[in-house]
Structure formats: structure tokens, C-alpha cells
Amino acid sequence: MPHNNSAAKRLRKNETRRVANKARLTELKSLRKRLERHLHDGEVEQAKKLFVQFTKRLDQASSVNTVHKNTASRLKSRVALAIAKPPKAAAPAAK
């Protein structure tokens, strides 16, 4: 229980920020899973469209310090490499 007005306000603001950060992180996680699913299924064009949305949301989250800027950069880089990498070829049939 807060003992003064400023502590009460800090408690309110912390809760508001926690909820907003949780929503941002959940959205990022969902977008990343959808991106990886498209890549796994070989739908590169869909993945490229989703990548634009993913990077935008990552940049927004890093601008308000929900995600560290280096973390956002690393995630964007890894997903971009996964999109650029050619899909795995089927293994040759055994004789």
C-alpha cells in the first residue's frame, strides 16, 4: 500500500505500462511465430509482407524501451537472413 500521493501515482503508472508492454510483446511474439510458420511452409512472399509489419512493430517497441534496441536489431537481422536464405532442397532419394 503506497504511503503518499507520488507512490500511489507511480503504482498506477507502473500498472498501465506493464499492461501496454505485455500487449506489445505478445503482438511481437505472434507476428514472429506467423513469420516462421510462413517460412517453414515455403511461403516466402507472405513472409516478406509480414516482415515489413514485424520490423515496424519492433521499431515501435524499441522506441519506447519495451524491447532493447540491440535486441530489436538482432531479431530483424535473423528474420531477414531466414527470408533471404534459399529454401532447403529435398534430400536425394536413396538408391
Widest Cα–Cα separation across the chain: 79
Residue 90 inside a domain? The answer is no
| Cα–Cα distance measured from residue 50 to residue 89, given in angstroms and rounded to the nearest whole number | 24
Residue 89 inside a domain? The answer is no
Residue 39 inside a domain? The answer is yes
Residue 93 inside a domain? The answer is no
Closest CA relative to residue 66, chosen from 19, 9, 34 = 19
pLDDT number for residue 85: 85
| Cα–Cα distance measured from residue 78 to residue 18, given in angstroms and rounded to the nearest whole number | 27
68: containing domain: 5-84
Residue 92 inside a domain? The answer is no
pLDDT tens digits along 3-42: 999 999 999 999 999 999 999 999 999 999 999 999 999 8
> What's the pTM?
0.81
| Cα–Cα distance measured from residue 40 to residue 51, given in angstroms and rounded to the nearest whole number | 14
Give how many domains the chain has, as a whole number. Answer: 1
Question: What is the CATH classification number for the domain harbouring 74?
Answer: 1.20.58.110
Residue 36, exposed/middle/buried by CB under 10 A (0-12, 13-18, 19+)? middle
